[in-house]
Structure 1
Amino acid sequence: MTDQPYQGVPYEGYDPYQQPAPQQDWQGAAPQGAQEGYDPQHTQTWQGQTWETRTHAPVQAPPEATAYLPPVTGYPQQGYQQEQPGTAQPQYQQMGHPGPQPMAQMPQPHPTAQPHPQPMAGPGPATPSAAAPVSAPEPPAGEASGDGPSYGPATLAGNSRVTDAQRARLEGRSPIIEPGMQPALLTALLGLLLAATAGLGSYALAVPLVLLQAVTAAGWFRLNGMWPARQGIALAFGGGLAADAAVLGAGRGNAPAAILGTLGVWVLLSLVLQLRSHASPDERMYGLMATVASAALAILATGYLGADPHATSVGAAAVAVAAVTRALPLPTPASVVVSLLAAAGAGIAVGGMTGLGADGALLGALAGACALVGHRVAGYDYPSRFVHFTAGVALPLSAAAPVVWALGRVLG
């Protein structure tokens, strides 16, 4: 420890003619009265020779000198923005020190913040201070502001999105959206193309059939929520092309063997494709079922090519009429009955032109029933507009192909 005394403290050998350093106030500025004279009465001093204060008695400063001095910190306090009228200012004037300068008003914190320390109250008369206006507290984020939408409380896991089909079930409505008139007209156009080209030959019939198989493969994957699924769509469409080539090469008489053989090979290819996938087991199983179903529908549509040409014309025309009738704005039970009657009537009309006669009514009615099943599947679970223009167009015709082939063999 050093024996040098603290600056400004009287000790042995003190020079009385030495001018003491002026004392600084709490704001760091020299007091105005320091240049006029030195007042030892209001000056706080240390009584001791060294910094070791344990051997000396504590020194109490005059209370009137420090009672109104606010604590000094490294940042401005909001509680010292205004003066206490009638208390602090007269004491500063008596001591010869200038009053505390008003500081720039800081922004008001949120009401939930911690309160600031209040300055010490002096012995003077307590008078109410002019408090700064406090802004209204802001409403919490979770509460409604009155003019905006209200939101629920925050959750850790989040809220899963409710689909339109789930909302319809909760409200007691049917989760089915009918494809509408535009897909029905496209189905009718494609069916009329099949009916017209069936009498022209197998190769002419293969042109609209390939278009039907392509739309079937793409629409089934999109209906199942798997998009783009390029590999699955390409595999299913390739199965349809392979079945067409097999039937054209083997002839109409060997169409069942060609169609079933192609279907078996494409099921094995679908298994291999899913085994090479790096997805989870559940996704693999879902993808396998969608791929097999899409390939099966595309391959079974080849039944139009293997069936009797007259049966193909009757069945395709009946599907076209049933699809358009089903899209009319009628109640569902009445629409189904009217569609079946219209399909049977179309079968009778086309059957009379092709030589089937009255047997065409049965074929037309059964083809119309299969078309209504495909129409129902295409409208399930609130599908998109793209689904309606793919699956909604193709499924009525693809679902009726096996019946057209089977009844064509029986009635022909």
Structure 2
Amino acid sequence: MTDQPYEGSYDAYDPYQQQPYQGYQGHQGYQGYQGYDDPQGAQAPQYEQYQQYTQQWQGQTWEAAQPQGHAGAAVDHGYEAPGGPVGTTTQGDEEPDEDSDYGPATLAGDSRLTDAQRAREEGRSPIIEPGMQPAGLTALLGLLVSGAAAVGSYALLVPLVALQAVTAAGWFRLNGMWPARQGIALAFLGALAADVALLVAGRENAPAAILGTLGVWVLLSLVLQLRSHADPDERMYGLMATVASAALSIVAAGYLAAEPDAVTVGAAAVAVAVLARALPLPTPASIVVSLLAAAGAGIAVGGMTGFGAKGALLGAGAAACALIGHRVASYDYPSRFVHFTAGVALPLTAAAPVVFVLGRALA
């Protein structure tokens, strides 16, 4: 077919200007054409010629314009919320627009790519580090833990509970599950239960209190997920996120179980290490500087607590775990909300087991 419309008259090519078909009388408004029942007869060549001319006309039909309107609607409404079904959004989410994890829907059936997947395909790194502001909050929280530990266990509860709450919320958001109020509340309640168990059982029974609370909360998470009506894959993903969040929040109670002097040294070392890690240096150099700064802080604070030079080992060990937590919070194009929750809490939370173990070994 050509792009030029046919400007002539169709009457000259109409082979059906003959007597109406009289075989059907059921509807007076219908009038057929002779030759219709004989496509192979004498009228066939004229019919083909008629089609040849009528098919030369082209224009923009409704079907041709329709996908354009749908494409605009898809761009406006076709976002996929993290961890949720297509087309759903959550009101009250205060993240900037650039924090969205998914691109707009497409009409051609193309799969959506997360920013991290697109970065990998383009050869870019999906790692975005929290930066100086979250590092400053981590340092502040670490100094509060360090100072409160020197005062007493009940004073330590205040910054510790804040750390456990931010850990629970940050882990769910880091895994793309938001809002997850039930999971966050369950993980936070597990952390509070571990704190109470430690205060009741005492530091000498700390491992049993922590492990016992963790076992109960894993079982409770399983029971709650079995009652869920979600798809099996979603239930498994939710179960893993809930168990991991509860485990991290409960493990943070290790600061309450460790020796007070060890907490003072370890938390101060983490504060220094995270600040050093946020300096604008190449990653290998930044890691080395962080470990050295943490060891130096361990010696300085250890001299005030009785650990002495052994504080260097405790500080370096706590800093190494803190850098692992910092790296986890930087994974897979995290949003600003992730940086100010997981990026703040995970370095301190990851260092808690080392502070507990090395503190007892070195004391």
Instruction: Place the TM-score, normalised by the shorter chain, in its bin.
Output: 0.7 to 0.9
Q: CA deviation digits over 1:270-305, x for unaligned, max 9? A: 101100100111111111110010000000000000
Instruction: Report the counterpart of residue 201 of structure 2 in structure 1.
Output: 250
Question: Does residue 262 of structure 2 align to residue 370 of structure 1?
Answer: no
**Which whole-Å CA distance do the structure 2 matches of 1:383 and 1:181 have between them?**
15
Match of 1:278, SS state, is coil
2:143 to 175, 180, 192: 192
Instruction: Report the counterpart of residue 117 of structure 1 in structure 2.
Output: 9
1:267 Cα deviation from its structure 2 partner: 0.4
Match of 2:151, SS state, is coil
**Bigger relative CO (Cα 8 Å, ≥ 6 apart):** 2
Instruction: Report the counterpart of residue 212 of structure 2 in structure 1.
Output: 261
**Which whole-Å CA distance do the structure 2 matches of 1:184 and 1:118 have between them?**
79
Match of 1:179, SS state, is coil
Instruction: Report the counterpart of residue 225 of structure 1 in structure 2.
Output: 176
CA gap 1:291/1:172 in 2 versus in 1, 3 angstroms: same
Instruction: Report the counterpart of residue 350 of structure 1 in structure 2.
Output: 301
CA gap 1:232/1:120 in 2 versus in 1, 3 angstroms: closer
**Which whole-Å CA distance do the structure 1 matches of 2:344 and 2:5 have between them?**
64
Match of 1:361, SS state, is helix
Match of 2:347, SS state, is helix
Match of 1:161, SS state, is coil
Q: CA deviation digits over 1:221-256, x for unaligned, max 9? A: 000001111111000000000000000111111111
Q: CA deviation digits over 1:77-105, x for unaligned, max 9? A: xxxxxxxxxxxxxxxxxxxxxxxxxxxxx
- Structure with greater helix percent: 2
1:157 Cα deviation from its structure 2 partner: 4.9
1:120 Cα deviation from its structure 2 partner: 5.4
**Which whole-Å CA distance do the structure 1 matches of 2:281 and 2:5 have between them?**
65
Question: Does residue 223 of structure 2 align to residue 272 of structure 1?
Answer: yes
Instruction: Report the counterpart of residue 264 of structure 2 in structure 1.
Output: 313
**Which whole-Å CA distance do the structure 1 matches of 2:245 and 2:5 have between them?**
63
1:170 Cα deviation from its structure 2 partner: 1.4
Q: Larger radius of gyration, structure 1 or 2? A: 1
1:209 to 148, 160, 171: 160
Question: Does residue 278 of structure 2 align to residue 327 of structure 1?
Answer: yes
After TM superposition, list the pairs within 5 Å mapping 1:393-408 onto structure 2.
Answer: 393-408=344-359
**Which whole-Å CA distance do the structure 1 matches of 2:146 and 2:263 have between them?**
6
> How many pairs are equivalent?
280
CA gap 1:197/1:113 in 2 versus in 1, 3 angstroms: farther
Letter in 2 for 1:192: L
**Which whole-Å CA distance do the structure 1 matches of 2:212 and 2:5 have between them?**
78
**Which whole-Å CA distance do the structure 2 matches of 1:381 and 1:112 have between them?**
54
**Which whole-Å CA distance do the structure 2 matches of 1:349 and 1:394 have between them?**
24
**Which whole-Å CA distance do the structure 1 matches of 2:106 and 2:330 have between them?**
35
1:295 to 246, 249, 252: 246
**Which whole-Å CA distance do the structure 2 matches of 1:317 and 1:213 have between them?**
18
Q: CA deviation digits over 1:82-136, x for unaligned, max 9? A: xxxxxxxxxxxxxxxxxxxxxxxxxxxxx68786634659xxxxxxxxxxxxxxx
CA gap 1:117/1:366 in 2 versus in 1, 3 angstroms: same
Instruction: Report the counterpart of residue 87 of structure 1 in structure 2.
Output: none
1:387 Cα deviation from its structure 2 partner: 0.3
**Which whole-Å CA distance do the structure 1 matches of 2:174 and 2:5 have between them?**
55
1:160 Cα deviation from its structure 2 partner: 2.3
Match of 2:280, SS state, is coil
- Over aligned residue pairs, what C-alpha RMSD do you find? 2.7
Letter in 2 for 1:198: A
1:339 to 287, 290, 303: 290
